[in-house]
Structure 1
């Protein structure tokens, strides 16, 4: 107001409006310096967080826009610059990247522009989306048949890219293992008992790896073939022992009079058989490959009614195994088919000088 110096003084008043013009002297401020988030993997595009920064200024000086400036080189996240809503661009894969540290900046629109930033940690939670994987789709192993029980024949391993129980693997054998093999939690396959190649030459079964997910566990299989290698654990066995033959004393020389045959349940050289007499036998020979016994001398002058031959069958294993068989040869007399005179005598008178 204004007042003059008169008496009485006169007074005049006026109203003055003062408008304070805003200066951009405040920066946007987040409530926290760090935010920690968790999001399951494999989710479709989803909003996970709203960044909120306040600016005390007015108008454009207080209008805030948001931007991701670090920690997302692959572009897996997106932020609405006006609302600050942070979303995933697509499903995240924990097995590729399990943790992100994003840097979000908030900028006002004043001149000069002010900004602040905040760190957002995103942990990608595991979902059981991976099956255990074996290094090979099949395995083949040889084992000697005389291997002791609990012999480890093979160790398999399956890896699972998931986390925690989703990635913990247990192993099982299919019923084709016939109870002859066992697998432990480390994937070691061992024999339950000694194997016998003569009963079964090979075993083919599946190993199944199953993760330990509490629901809907995932699994995969690999094929295992165990070949039982032969060990020379069987001796030759003669098919007929003793072998009895009947031949004539008139049998011609060089004729085959008998064949002594043996079998061996082993395989390869372990089942390859050679034959011989246990001692030198006069008048006979034996084929070392076939077991054929051949006559080398005439039997007509032989006074014995039978001959006994001892044949040894030896396999070619290392060490070799053998057995002895017996051949009994009976010699029979042949009936004389020529003219014979009666044993009785007759006296017939004959005059001398009788004509012929």
Structure 2
């Protein structure tokens, strides 16, 4: 609570007291202010920036925002000093009406960082509304014959303020006939009234003028008044009398508006105005009767003005009054009983109560699915109902009682064929014309586990590159179950078996929910070319049903093996080859052969050889066969050639990227009649000295001669075979078919391939066979001696031997 210092002048002190503001914190990040209504523009409400601990530099448009929550611009914030002030007139009664509590809720939004504060400004009431009566003058007509202590109700005043400001007190102007009966404040139902304290005499005082004043409890007090004009009436001693005290009439329902129901008549023995009669409904007649019937005050005719519905009410009991014009007026009473005659204006009403939904597809015939009741509000034939059901459905209607039917299962259900039925039940009454109504019944067929999961095909072929990362996704199996819900919830698992010495689960796994198959470890084409296994799909039904699918996973080769050099002749397996060559050999003489194999397959195992210059003259006397690996001389050797030659042969496969190996070749040139000095195998980078001439070793000469003889014999045989295979000049013949066989995990498959030959002019066709492995056994099942060449590809030995057939034209 803010306190005002005593040094403030008394007048200003009073003004500030009226605009006193109370501030308190409510909860976290909320402020509460209080202000009087009708405060002037600019009235101080509170130091909102200081109370919210905000810096004035934060009060920048765009960063600071005051949201009035639908209260318009009643309050504003001065961005220069952070003070919340009144911006426009605040009327508590306009904002909150008669509510005792009235508050304006504000939301302060500060950006960077974003902060939201809630501010509640309570609007306190001031006594700015006087009490108001419904009218400025109230006319009362009181017969002079009224007894003492008779009470005449008055309508009190209302005050738009609340609390003490709306607490009203009443006083009546001084008079000798009436006193004011004011109920206590806690009695809400009792009204203000006048009480007759002294008998009235019309001849003495035909009119009385009183003033009723209402005063509120505010400071200063505000008042409101109403003039009471009391007219004293003359006595009337004969009441009107109806011909009958009770009338009965029959009325068809749905008659048109304006239809005459009955005309009543009453008489009065008085004369003049005391004998003039006015007809009306009794004051306590229901609003329903007033909405359906009209009473002519002069003629006494009752006519229809609303809808007459037999189903709404079969009988209307209408109390009537006949009032004369005497002073005081006297009243006569009678009752009209209107009986409504039914018409066929209501269609049947169907009520469907399902019992067993959804219905399992294996439900027994005759099971009750739903109970159907029919109600027709009409009577007699108009209310007699027959029911029918949609045709060609596995259900039927069975009558159990009057207008009661059961929907029962009539034939077997199959959810996979039809999962739900939309049935239409039609009820028709016996009226003329007949009325009907229909109701839809949705019958859902519940699933039972009668379908096993099914794969799209019984077998899948999958190709996977070797050296895959562990856990790689290689395939996804998917099975579909025609059932529903848990019966269609499929889970996958491996059908375990042994793959060699290891379990299948050490190679692959399958995700139980998604069906994704993963390779648990890198696959090696050289170790395993084909992995065949089964995946089982099983649903979650009870009992569970399942099926299997076969996966054939072919492991594709990648170029992951470097060519391996094979030892031969005087060479060694470490890539070094040593050879003695006579200087007198002819060009084209085969000095040595580099042998290499590649554990890969196909192009990855197709090797080529290249001669890499190591040292010596710029023009090398040797070359290497691109695909044979044979090192031969390119020219005649002479004295200028160094005695010891060293060079490298690069062995390269055709993979992407290509892998290589190198072989170091040492060649010692020997003159005829000379014996080279014994030497040890040189290593890469050694300087090769000139050999000393020694005596020719007899055994070495014998060995050289034997090798030379064998070489000559081989060349002769090769030339003979080539010449015998040359066809007649200019003639072409198709090559004989070749049987190519391959083996995959114990199974053989063979296919014939015909070698094609191209003929051009005189040159004979050529074909070369380059083999990088020793001879292999013939294909199983091939007819030996048939004359057809065959090449056997055994995948189980593919890691050791690779064969590449190249047809060179």
Aligned to 2:660, which of 307, 317, 322?
Answer: 322
Deviates more, 1:223-232 or 1:103-112: 103-112
**8 Å CA contact retained: 1:196, 1:228:** yes
Deviations 1:245-302 (A, max 9, x none): 6657387423323221101112222211111222167443221111112245667969
So what's the TM-score if we normalise by structure 2?
0.33
Aligned pair 1:275/2:609, yes or no? yes
1:54/1:135 Cα in 2 relative to 1: closer, same or farther (>3 Å)? closer
Q: Hey, what does 2:412 align to over in structure 1?
A: 91
Q: In the aligned structure 2, how far is the partner of 1:319 from the partner of 1:312?
A: 15
**8 Å CA contact retained: 1:92, 1:124:** yes
Aligned pair 1:190/2:190, yes or no? no
Secondary structure (helix, strand or coil) at the match of 1:162 reads coil
1:54/1:182 Cα in 2 relative to 1: closer, same or farther (>3 Å)? closer
Residue 45 of structure 1 and its aligned partner are, at CA, apart by 3.7
Aligned to 1:148, which of 465, 469, 481?
Answer: 469
Aligned pair 1:221/2:542, yes or no? no
Map 1:138-177; keep pairs closer than 5 Å.
138-175=459-496, 177=504
Deviates more, 1:253-262 or 1:100-109: 100-109
Q: In the aligned structure 2, how far is the partner of 1:257 from the partner of 1:193?
A: 46
1:36/1:289 Cα in 2 relative to 1: closer, same or farther (>3 Å)? same
Deviations 1:40-71 (A, max 9, x none): 2044644435868699xxxx9999875324xx
Aligned pair 1:263/2:597, yes or no? yes
Map 1:104-119; keep pairs closer than 5 Å.
104=425
Q: In the aligned structure 2, how far is the partner of 1:31 from the partner of 1:275?
A: 95
Secondary structure (helix, strand or coil) at the match of 2:355 reads strand
Residue 323 of structure 1 and its aligned partner are, at CA, apart by 0.9
Residue 192 of structure 1 and its aligned partner are, at CA, apart by 1.4
> Which segments of 5 or more consecutive residues in structure 1 lack a partner in the other structure?
1-24, 338-356
Residue 163 of structure 1 and its aligned partner are, at CA, apart by 2.3
**8 Å CA contact retained: 2:352, 2:371:** no
So what's the TM-score if we normalise by structure 1?
0.67
1:110/1:233 Cα in 2 relative to 1: closer, same or farther (>3 Å)? same
Secondary structure (helix, strand or coil) at the match of 1:217 reads coil
Instruction: Report how many residues are paired.
Output: 310
Q: Hey, what does 2:354 align to over in structure 1?
A: 35
Q: In the aligned structure 2, how far is the partner of 1:224 from the partner of 1:62?
A: 70
Q: In the aligned structure 2, how far is the partner of 1:52 from the partner of 1:311?
A: 97
Q: Hey, what does 1:208 align to over in structure 2?
A: 536
Q: In the aligned structure 2, how far is the partner of 1:303 from the partner of 1:99?
A: 98
Q: Hey, what does 1:48 align to over in structure 2?
A: 368
Secondary structure (helix, strand or coil) at the match of 2:603 reads helix
Deviations 1:28-48 (A, max 9, x none): x99954333233204464443
Q: In the aligned structure 2, how far is the partner of 1:268 from the partner of 1:166?
A: 49
1:251/1:92 Cα in 2 relative to 1: closer, same or farther (>3 Å)? farther
1:52/1:315 Cα in 2 relative to 1: closer, same or farther (>3 Å)? closer
Aligned pair 1:67/2:388, yes or no? yes
Secondary structure (helix, strand or coil) at the match of 1:166 reads helix
1:303/1:315 Cα in 2 relative to 1: closer, same or farther (>3 Å)? closer
1:209/1:52 Cα in 2 relative to 1: closer, same or farther (>3 Å)? closer
Secondary structure (helix, strand or coil) at the match of 1:269 reads helix
Secondary structure (helix, strand or coil) at the match of 1:277 reads strand
**8 Å CA contact retained: 2:471, 2:521:** yes
1:309/1:31 Cα in 2 relative to 1: closer, same or farther (>3 Å)? closer
Deviations 1:61-90 (A, max 9, x none): 999875324xx6x42223457896644343
Secondary structure (helix, strand or coil) at the match of 1:270 reads helix
Q: In the aligned structure 1, how far is the partner of 2:517 from the partner of 2:653?
A: 33
1:289/1:64 Cα in 2 relative to 1: closer, same or farther (>3 Å)? same
Aligned to 2:449, which of 100, 108, 128?
Answer: 128
Q: Hey, what does 1:20 align to over in structure 2?
A: none
Q: Hey, what does 1:239 align to over in structure 2?
A: 566
Residue 162 of structure 1 and its aligned partner are, at CA, apart by 1.9
Deviates more, 1:298-307 or 1:155-164: 298-307
Residue 173 of structure 1 and its aligned partner are, at CA, apart by 2.5
> Which segments of 5 or more consecutive residues in structure 2 lack a partner in the other structure?
1-343, 376-380, 498-503, 676-695, 703-809
Secondary structure (helix, strand or coil) at the match of 1:193 reads coil
Aligned to 1:284, which of 619, 622, 625?
Answer: 622
Q: In the aligned structure 2, how far is the partner of 1:170 from the partner of 1:308?
A: 67
**8 Å CA contact retained: 1:98, 1:123:** yes
Q: In the aligned structure 1, how far is the partner of 2:370 from the partner of 2:631?
A: 102
Q: In the aligned structure 2, how far is the partner of 1:134 from the partner of 1:219?
A: 10
**8 Å CA contact retained: 1:53, 1:64:** no
Residue 305 of structure 1 and its aligned partner are, at CA, apart by 8.0
**8 Å CA contact retained: 2:494, 2:505:** no
**8 Å CA contact retained: 1:274, 1:313:** yes
Q: In the aligned structure 2, how far is the partner of 1:151 from the partner of 1:320?
A: 25
Q: Hey, what does 1:4 align to over in structure 2?
A: none
Q: In the aligned structure 2, how far is the partner of 1:62 from the partner of 1:109?
A: 7
Residue 334 of structure 1 and its aligned partner are, at CA, apart by 6.2
1:111/1:312 Cα in 2 relative to 1: closer, same or farther (>3 Å)? closer
Residue 101 of structure 1 and its aligned partner are, at CA, apart by 4.5
Greater relative contact order structure (CA < 8 Å, 6+ sep): 1
Rg larger in structure: 2
Q: In the aligned structure 1, how far is the partner of 2:425 from the partner of 2:580?
A: 111
1:198/1:115 Cα in 2 relative to 1: closer, same or farther (>3 Å)? same
